[in-house]
Amino acid sequence: MPLMKKIILLRANAFLIAGLLVSSSVFAQEIRFGIFADPVIGWFSSDTRETRNEGARPGFNFGITFNRYFARNYSFSTGISILNAGGRLVTYDTITMYFNNFNTEVHAGKSVVYKIQYINVPLGLKFESNQIGYITFFSDVGLDPKVVIGGKVDIPSASVKGETAMKELNRINLGYHIAAGISYSLGGTTEIVLGLGFEQNFIDITKDILTQPRDKISHNLLKFRLGINF
């Protein structure tokens, strides 16, 4: 190969590598944020027959998201939100529920309605497609450390309504999430986000106090993402 062609080829390769490095550097430093308000459906699952789920409850999740890009279509995702969710449980035996100022019996087959409030800090990876027209498809998977900051229960059979039940709840939890959806560009980096996600806790949400059943109650959440990114 003539010397001149070799020089041109080396220069072309150098420019290509430099361009890739600059592109990677730009996306490695890009940070985007968004806000969202998610309608939620929550329910429980149990690992024993002594305690079982009895229906779902609506909830709400709102907060902010942060994405730090390490490549054009890939980013680390996090944020913080206030999650309000609940569910219904029944037991096959009579149990005692423990509150701050009193205790009460819940007879077998009678439901306990939980209303739980968390601070949620998801940690995940977000994958995005190339933009097609105005639309980008995305998915997000990761873990969800959360802290219970409020908990109330209703026990209709015992005339208990809105009673604080922090004694009955474990304060720290950890779950995982899987989500997917689309974003619609409004121009620049602003986009509307629509999506669907599932989340499940790894750790027992309820305590097993004294004679209460030794069970593991997981909180399951179906989330409908409504948001806007900037």
What pLDDT, in 10s, does the model give residues 159-177? 999 999 999 999 999 999 9
User: b/e for 124-133, b at 16 or more Cβ within 10 A?
Assistant: bebebeeeee
pLDDT at 24: 45
Across residues 6-21, what is the average pLDDT? 48
What is the per-residue pLDDT across 67-105, written as a single tens digit (0 to 9) for each? 999 999 999 999 999 999 999 999 999 999 999 999 999
pLDDT at 25: 46
Q: Is the pLDDT of residue 26 over 50?
A: no
The SS3 call for residue 22 is helix
Average pLDDT, rounded, for the chain: 91
pLDDT at 117: 98
- Domain annotation covers residue 125: yes
pLDDT at 11: 52
Phi and psi, residue 168, nearest 5°: -95, 0
- Domain annotation covers residue 168: yes
- Containing structural domain, residue 219: 30-229
Q: Which residue has the tokens 């819940």?
A: 106
Q: How many residues can be counted in the chain?
A: 230
- Domain annotation covers residue 21: no
Phi and psi, residue 122, nearest 5°: -70, 150
Distances in Å between the Cα of 106 and the Cα atoms of 65, 110, 134 are 41, 6, 54
Going 186 to 184 to 124 to 205, the CA torsion angle's sign is positive
pLDDT at 97: 97
Confidence of residue 22 (pLDDT cuts 50, 70, 90): very low
Rounded percentage of the chain residues whose pLDDT exceeds 70: 87
Rounded percentage of the chain residues whose pLDDT exceeds 90: 87
- Domain annotation covers residue 203: yes
H-state helical runs in the chain: 3-29
- Domain annotation covers residue 12: no
CA distance linking residue 140 with residue 132, whole number of Å:
19
Distances in Å between the Cα of 115 and the Cα atoms of 46, 110, 177 are 17, 17, 21
- Domain annotation covers residue 122: yes
Distances in Å between the Cα of 133 and the Cα atoms of 175, 186, 209, 227 are 35, 11, 56, 20
- Confirm if 218 and 28 have CB atoms less than 8 A apart: no
pLDDT at 142: 98
Q: Report the predicted TM-score, pTM, of the whole model to 2 decimal places.
A: 0.85
- The CA dihedral of 19, 23, 28, 31, to the nearest 10 degrees, is 150
Q: Is the pLDDT of residue 6 over 80?
A: no
79's enclosing H/E stretch is strand 74-91
159: left (phi over 0), alpha (psi -120 to 50) or beta: left
What is the per-residue pLDDT across 137-158, written as a single tens digit (0 to 9) for each? 999 999 999 999 999 999 999 9
- Domain annotation covers residue 181: yes
pLDDT at 29: 60
Residue 78 belongs to domain with CATH number: 2.40.160.20
- Domain annotation covers residue 13: no
How many structural domains are present in the chain?
Answer: 1
